[in-house]
Each structure stands twice: as structure tokens, then as C-alpha cells.
């Protein structure tokens, strides 16, 4: 496939990678402030995008980490480091990496949980 078509169809070096991220907070108040800070400080500051939602003490999003050349693992590490630094985050789970355009999304339940309360 020619480079122009690979880019148009998001194949090969133009594949965009993402992961599911589920964050559980240790409080139910201040969700809007937490969400604003999460989007600005953890997602946008790393050149990422996210979609999803949540309420009160739980946030469930898909984080777009970019192409391989954008070093998605480093971006995810910075996002999770931001979560670890927050006192209002009880734990977080991250799903397996998948192709955002053509991959199979698998919802995570109880996998790869990181608990800061221990």
C-alpha cells in the first residue's frame, strides 16, 4: 500500500495507539475540578486526547497516545505518574494497547490495577 493510502487509512507507521484508563478516586466531591485538572495537566500537556466519562469517584476514558514515533509508552508513564501524585486518586487501571482505528477494544475489569492506598 502506498504511503498516502497508509496515512489516509491509519495503517503501518500511521497507526494511532490508545489505552483504556479507569481511575477510582477516594472521594465523591470535586469531580469537575479533578476532571479539568486531569485533562489539562495529564492529557493535553502530554499531547494526548481522551474520550469517555465518569462521575463522582470514577473516571473511565480511552486515551489516544499517538503513533509509535510519538513514544506512547513515555506518554502513558507521565499520565500515570500524574495520577500517582494525586492524593484524591485511590487506584487506577490501564488496559492493553490497541489500534484506535482498526483494533479490538477490550474493556478492562480488574486487570492491571495500581492501588496507591496500600
Which pTM was predicted?
Answer: 0.83
CATH class entry, domain 17-100: alpha beta
**Residue linked to cell 497508509:** 6
Tens digit of pLDDT for each residue in 72-106? Answer: 999 999 999 999 999 999 999 999 999 999 988 88
Concatenated DSSP letters for 2-41? -HHHHHHHT-GGG--EEEEEEEEES-SS-HHHHHHHIIII
**Residue linked to cell 500537556:** 45
Give, for 96, the enclosing helix (H) or strand (E): none
The reported pLDDT for the residue numbered 112 is: 47
Residue 118's pLDDT band (cuts 50, 70, 90) = very low
Tens digit of pLDDT for each residue in 10-44? Answer: 999 999 999 999 999 999 999 999 999 999 999 99
Reported residue count of the chain is: 118
Eight-class DSSP state of 105? P
Amino acid at each position: 500500500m502506498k504511503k498516502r493510502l497508509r496515512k489516509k487509512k491509519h495503517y503501518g507507521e500511521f497507526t494511532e495507539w490508545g489505552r483504556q484508563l479507569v481511575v477510582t478516586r477516594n472521594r465523591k466531591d470535586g469531580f469537575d475540578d479533578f476532571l479539568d485538572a486531569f485533562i489539562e495537566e495529564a492529557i493535553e500537556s502530554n499531547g494526548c486526547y481522551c474520550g469517555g466519562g465518569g462521575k463522582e469517584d470514577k473516571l473511565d476514558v480511552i486515551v489516544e497516545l499517538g503513533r509509535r514515533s510519538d513514544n506512547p509508552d513515555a506518554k502513558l508513564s507521565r499520565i500515570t505518574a500524574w495520577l500517582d501524585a494525586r492524593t484524591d486518586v485511590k487506584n487506577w487501571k490501564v488496559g492493553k494497547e490497541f489500534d484506535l482505528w482498526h483494533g479490538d477494544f477490550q474493556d478492562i475489569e480488574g486487570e492491571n490495577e495500581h492501588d496507591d492506598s496500600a
